[in-house]
């Protein structure tokens, strides 16, 4: 096999070498144990088949894992290639690698520190041909999956009423996470139920389409690896022999498929499966760390029983508890403990800290989501003028929709921020187009990507032509791409036929060069296909931004190649398909991080804001109907609270705009669970009636004026939808670039009224004015877009 995927250097050779126990002997160097408390130390030095570390948030679980890995390397008990460490996000993996590097030098190269998904992609790519796939398989993301299911539903028509793409895809996902395939599921289902029967047919079609397209969905990555190991014992044996030490972080969030994978990998290796083995090998040693109070992925099939049953499942397992928290102040910890104490059915933990009480938690109730956001911004200004840097601060929310008000206020206040996850770069239409070109080149069998770009930019290949191509492909049992090549055999107009031939030739040209530089390839594809030209010539101002985004993608591919010399298109696509939400985190940038509570797992910040602590948001409305839903939401709140080291802010609003409607909000039940003496509740600037400017501001931001005079207890009826002309005016087109401002100038701000400029810093589009307002105090404003006018 060629080393197209760069796998051969990854240690399968290493295991042929003699045992790595070297001249340095087997005691762990003292510097690796320094600064660890006794149970942490014990966890690092323990040797045995299975070790479980259960402990509350911030007690050093991840730190212990890192030191354990470093210990295994330093004592030469293991080659780097014999270690498999599983983290929850790629970001966490990168962080862990960095920490291990810091502890043991460059030794971690060749070691697998990966997420479940990325470890499985590696294995599947390596073994694909063993079970009838091509190495170049595509990974379908949730958008692709839904598009495919939507098409299948449409094709099958009326007999499956009641099935939606979203519903079907999450049901298939759940089943796959439970390690079901279509047939095993069929045996447990009640097929007299027409809906179930229809679902089953749809699932069957779906899987068939995936196979035809040489594609996997995300859940397949793990379940197919498990099936592969079960079906091919000699393949499983290679990996069992290779990975002698397996370590898993955030174990409470593993689902059945992931659990099965761990079981497979930790089985003993027998000479029957690997004849060149000198003697049978015992199973790998397994270390898992977790906290059942932080289990927040039940909706994806995570099962806390994986933790509670660990000792039963893994014979000879040892359990170590950690109780000292090194992250948060006592006030924050007390709040966390009190909240989680309301969940039944849990093993109580005594988490303590010796870092002192610290500041009280700050609470705030805004009139609206916008007002709440203003509070967040004001506090951030306060914290940073006290010496904290932006990157020490994070703002959490339950749903992505909540970012709108936050982002707007942060922009206006000139606070640099970064949204982690949400509408991601890779979700934008133009980026999906460009990626579709790349995927089509890499995997010519994939019709989904090919369909996406077939007529983008427009080249006269309409739906009828596409249908003709597809019919030809079906008839001859060839791929859509093959059909394009044989377009002469299909009765089509000469112009269309020529366009199809050109496109096929362009794609084939690059498909035949799998080792090409992805950056060069992308640039050439976009230019020769006419994609960039079409954006460049367009009169739509949005297209300028789209062009920038596409160019940004070219820059990303270049950067990829720089960091991975020789990295191929497949390598690039593998990386990008796996970019998880938390992975975009960039600590260097000095930006406030905005993210959902789910994304925040495992991370820590000096100061944390948890926003929207309201019924229907936290706990989320959907969770109320599900058994165990509110308890899971409480764990999510617990995860949020325990991310904070020094300062914690919790906030809510009296009214909340959602789905274009403004409705009264009710404080979350979780708020009452925090002991009152721990919270310093701040009141909004005006508790009776907001200033006219404020009311106006609300109206201008599509929240009707009425919302500002509505109290909690007796909400007045609120208008259903904002007037049309106010909808979507969030970022009003405004450009003050030319506005000259100097210290001493008087200005009027749409929300804050009159104020005096204290200082002007920055240049160009990033000029910032610091202004002292009579009622609102000191504010930092981005001059270019702030709603201000200069007073004479």
Q: Which stretches of 413-512 are DSSP H helices?
A: 429-442, 447-454, 463-476, 480-485, 494-511
CB atoms within 10 A of CB 722: 19
How many residues bind to Mg ion according to rule CB under 5 A?
Answer: 3
Contact window for Mg ion (CB under 5 A) among 117-125, 168-176, 597-605, 707-715: 597-605
Nearer to ligand ATP, 439 or 585 (CB): 585
Cβ atoms 288, 53 nearer than 8 A: yes
Rounded CA gap, 521 and 757, in Å? Answer: 51
- Is 624 annotated for ligand binding? no
Contact window for Mg ion (CB under 5 A) among 312-320, 581-589, 594-602, 657-665: 594-602
- The minimum distance between CB 88 and ligand ATP, in angstroms, equals 9
Residue 403 annotated as catalytic = no
Draw the binding track, 546-585, toward Mg ion (x: CB under 5 A; -: no contact).
----------------------------------------
DSSP H or E run through 366? strand 361-366
Nearer to Mg ion, 87 or 136 (CB): 87
Nearer to ligand ATP, 66 or 574 (CB): 66
Nearer to ligand ATP, 52 or 503 (CB): 52
Nearer to Mg ion, 258 or 449 (CB): 258
Q: Partners of 609 in the beta sheet?
A: 395, 649
291 binds, among Mg ion, ligand ATP, none (CB under 5 to 8 A by kind): ligand ATP
- The minimum distance between CB 336 and ligand ATP, in angstroms, equals 11
- The minimum distance between CB 642 and ligand ATP, in angstroms, equals 6
Cβ atoms 93, 361 nearer than 8 A: no
- CB closest to ligand ATP, residue no: 60
Nearer to ligand ATP, 205 or 604 (CB): 604
Q: What is the DSSP letter of 617?
A: B
Rounded CA gap, 532 and 456, in Å? Answer: 11
Rounded CA gap, 554 and 742, in Å? Answer: 41
59 binds, among Mg ion, ligand ATP, none (CB under 5 to 8 A by kind): ligand ATP
Residue 130 annotated as catalytic = no
Indicate which residue of 95, 250, 273, 293 is catalytic: 250
103 binds, among ligand ATP, Mg ion, none (CB under 5 to 8 A by kind): none
- Is 57 annotated for ligand binding? yes
Nearer to ligand ATP, 61 or 452 (CB): 61
CB atoms within 10 A of CB 763: 8
Count of alpha carbons within 13 Å of 435, Cβ hemisphere only? 24
- The minimum distance between CB 391 and ligand ATP, in angstroms, equals 15
Residue 250 annotated as catalytic = yes
Nearer to ligand ATP, 324 or 736 (CB): 324
- Is 302 annotated for ligand binding? no
Residue 106, phi then psi, degrees to nearest 5: -75, 5
- The minimum distance between CB 351 and ligand ATP, in angstroms, equals 10
Indicate which residue of 643, 656, 701, 784 is catalytic: 643
- Is 189 annotated for ligand binding? no
Burial of 215 (0-12, 13-18, 19+ CB in 10 A): buried
Integer-rounded Cα radius of gyration of the chain:
29
Rounded CA gap, 520 and 653, in Å? Answer: 50
Question: Which single residue is written with the structure tokens 């969905």?
Answer: 217
- The minimum distance between CB 178 and Mg ion, in angstroms, equals 26
693 binds, among ligand ATP, Mg ion, none (CB under 5 to 8 A by kind): none
Cβ atoms 785, 764 nearer than 8 A: no
* Using rule CB under 5 A, residue 602 touches Mg ion: yes
40 binds, among Mg ion, ligand ATP, none (CB under 5 to 8 A by kind): ligand ATP
Contacts 24+ apart (CB under 8 A), 676-680: 678/331, 678/334, 678/335, 678/360, 678/361, 679/335, 679/360, 679/361, 679/362, 679/363, 679/650, 680/360, 680/361, 680/362, 680/363
Nearer to Mg ion, 66 or 710 (CB): 66
Residue 14 annotated as catalytic = no
Rounded CA gap, 686 and 697, in Å? Answer: 15
Residue 224 annotated as catalytic = no
Nearer to ligand ATP, 325 or 655 (CB): 325
Count of alpha carbons within 13 Å of 697, Cβ hemisphere only? 23
Residue 193: partners with Cβ closer than 8 Å, 6 or more residues away: none
Indicate which residue of 41, 61, 97, 523 is catalytic: 61
* Using rule CB under 5 A, residue 252 touches Mg ion: no
Contact window for Mg ion (CB under 5 A) among 187-195, 314-322, 524-532, 599-607: 599-607
89 binds, among Mg ion, ligand ATP, none (CB under 5 to 8 A by kind): none
Indicate which residue of 40, 62, 254, 403 is catalytic: 62
Per CB under 5 A, contacts with Mg ion among 44-73 are 61-62
String of b and e for 87-123 (b: at least 16 CB within 10 Å)?
Answer: bbbbbbbebbbebbeebbeebbeebbbbbbbbbbbbb
- The minimum distance between CB 158 and Mg ion, in angstroms, equals 50
CA triplet 391, 392, 393: central angle to 5 degrees? 90
Distance of CA 173 to the CA centre of its chain: 17
Nearer to ligand ATP, 327 or 546 (CB): 327
- The minimum distance between CB 293 and ligand ATP, in angstroms, equals 9
* Token pair listed for 216: 């996997």
- Is 59 annotated for ligand binding? yes
> What strands, in cross-sheet order, belong to the sheet with 768-773?
777-782, 768-773, 753-761, 746-749, 788-791
Rounded CA gap, 304 and 274, in Å? Answer: 35
- Is 62 annotated for ligand binding? yes
- CB closest to Mg ion, residue no: 62
* Token pair listed for 22: 């070297």
Indicate which residue of 238, 294, 329, 710 is catalytic: 294
- Is 660 annotated for ligand binding? no
35 binds, among Mg ion, ligand ATP, none (CB under 5 to 8 A by kind): ligand ATP
60 binds, among Mg ion, ligand ATP, none (CB under 5 to 8 A by kind): ligand ATP
Residue 294 annotated as catalytic = yes
Q: What is the DSSP letter of 70?
A: H
Closest Cα partner for 593 from 579, 576, 607?
607
Q: Partners of 320 in the beta sheet?
A: 53
Rounded CA gap, 544 and 529, in Å? Answer: 18
Per CB under 5 A, contacts with Mg ion among 374-413 are none
Indicate which residue of 144, 249, 433, 703 is catalytic: 249
- The minimum distance between CB 255 and ligand ATP, in angstroms, equals 19
- The minimum distance between CB 723 and ligand ATP, in angstroms, equals 45
CA triplet 511, 512, 515: central angle to 5 degrees? 90
- Is 215 annotated for ligand binding? no
Residue 206: partners with Cβ closer than 8 Å, 6 or more residues away: 148, 149, 152, 168, 172
Contacting residues toward ligand ATP, per CB under 6 A? 35-37, 40, 55, 57-63, 291, 294, 326-327, 602, 604, 642
- The minimum distance between CB 88 and Mg ion, in angstroms, equals 9
Catalytic residues: 61-62, 249-250, 294, 643
Residues that bind Mg ion (CB under 5 A): 61-62, 602
**What are the binding residues for ATP?**
55-62
């Amino acid at each position: 096999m060629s080393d197209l995927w760069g796998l051969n250097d990854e240690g399968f050779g290493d295991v042929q070498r003699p045992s790595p126990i070297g001249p340095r002997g087997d005691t762990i160097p003292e510097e690796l144990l320094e600064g660890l408390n006794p149970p942490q130390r014990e966890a690092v030095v323990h040797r045995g088949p299975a070790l479980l570390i259960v402990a509350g948030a911030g007690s050093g679980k991840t730190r212990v894992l890192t030191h354990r890995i470093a210990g295994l390397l330093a004592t030469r008990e293991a080659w780097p290639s014999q270690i498999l460490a599983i983290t929850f996000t790629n970001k966490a993996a990168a962080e862990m690698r960095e920490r291990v590097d810091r502890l043991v030098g460059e030794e971690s190269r060749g070691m697998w520190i990966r997420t479940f998904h990325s470890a499985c992609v590696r294995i599947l790519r390596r073994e694909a041909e063993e079970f009838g796939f091509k190495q170049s398989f595509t990974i379908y993301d949730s958008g692709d999956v839904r598009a495919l299911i939507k098409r299948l539903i449409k094709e099958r028509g009326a007999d499956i009423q009641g099935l939606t793409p979203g519903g079907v895809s999450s049901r298939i996902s759940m089943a796959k996470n439970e390690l079901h395939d279509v047939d095993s599921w069929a045996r447990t289902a009640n097929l007299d139920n027409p809906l179930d029967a229809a679902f089953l047919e749809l699932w069957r079609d779906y899987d068939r389409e995936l196979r035809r397209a040489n594609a996997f969905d995300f859940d397949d990555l793990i379940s197919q690896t498990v099936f592969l190991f079960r079906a091919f014992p000699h393949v499983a044996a290679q990996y069992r022999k290779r990975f002698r030490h397996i370590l898993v972080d955030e174990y409470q969030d593993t689902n059945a498929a992931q659990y099965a994978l761990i079981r497979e990998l930790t089985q003993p290796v027998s000479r029957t499966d690997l004849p060149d083995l000198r003697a049978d090998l015992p199973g790998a040693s397994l270390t898992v760390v977790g906290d059942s109070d932080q289990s927040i992925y039940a909706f994806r099939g995570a099962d806390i029983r994986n933790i509670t049953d660990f000792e039963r499942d893994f014979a000879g397992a040892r359990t170590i508890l950690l109780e000292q928290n090194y992250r948060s102040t006592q006030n924050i910890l007390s709040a966390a403990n009190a909240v989680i104490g309301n969940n039944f059915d849990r093993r109580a933990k005594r988490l303590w800290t010796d870092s002192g009480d610290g500041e009280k938690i700050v609470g705030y109730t805004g009139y609206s989501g916008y007002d709440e956001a203003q509070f967040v911004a004001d506090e951030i200004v306060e914290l940073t003028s006290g010496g904290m840097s932006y990157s020490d601060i994070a703002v959490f929310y339950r749903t992505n929709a909540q970012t709108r008000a936050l982002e707007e206020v942060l922009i206006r206040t000139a606070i640099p921020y970064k949204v982690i996850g949400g509408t991601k770069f890779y979700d934008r239409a133009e980026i999906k187009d460009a990626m579709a070109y790349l995927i089509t080149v890499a995997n010519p069998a994939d019709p989904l990507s090919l369909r996406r770009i077939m007529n983008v930019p427009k080249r006269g290949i309409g739906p009828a032509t596409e249908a003709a191509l597809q019919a030809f492909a079906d008839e001859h049992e060839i791929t859509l791409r093959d059909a394009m090549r044989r377009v002469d055999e299909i009765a089509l107009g000469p112009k269309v036929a020529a366009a199809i031939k050109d496109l096929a030739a362009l794609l084939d040209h690059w498909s035949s060069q799998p080792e090409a530089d992805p950056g060069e390839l992308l640039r050439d594809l976009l230019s020769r296909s006419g994609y960039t030209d079409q954006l460049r010539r367009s009169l739509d101002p949005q297209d300028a931004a789209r062009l920038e985004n596409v160019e940004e993608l070219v820059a990303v591919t270049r950067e990829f190649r720089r960091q991975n010399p020789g990295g191929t298109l497949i390598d690039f696509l593998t990386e990008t398909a796996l970019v998880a939400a938390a992975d975009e985190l960039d600590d260097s940038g000095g930006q406030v991080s905005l993210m959902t509570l789910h994304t925040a797992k495992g991370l820590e910040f000096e100061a944390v804001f948890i926003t929207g602590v309201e019924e229907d948001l936290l706990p989320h409305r959907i969770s109320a109907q599900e058994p165990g839903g509110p308890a899971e939401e409480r764990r999510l709140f617990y995860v949020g609270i325990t991310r904070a080291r020094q300062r914690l802010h919790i906030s809510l609003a009296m009214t909340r705009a959602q789905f274009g409607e403004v409705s009264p909000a009710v404080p979350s039940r979780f708020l009452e669970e925090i002991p009152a003496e721990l919270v310093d509740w701040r009141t909004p600037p005006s508790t009776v009636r907001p200033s006219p400017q404020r009311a106006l501001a609300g109206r201008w931001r599509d929240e009707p004026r009425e919302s500002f005079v509505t109290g909690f207890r007796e909400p007045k009826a609120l208008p259903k939808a904002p007037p049309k002309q106010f909808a979507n005016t969030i970022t009003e087109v405004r450009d003050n670039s030319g506005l000259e401002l100097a210290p001493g100038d008087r200005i009027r701000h749409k929300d804050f009224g009159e104020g005096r400029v204290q200082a002007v810093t920055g240049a160009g589009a990033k000029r910032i004015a610091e202004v002292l307002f009579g009622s609102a105090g000191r504010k930092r404003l981005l001059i270019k877009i702030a709603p201000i006018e200069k007073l004479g």
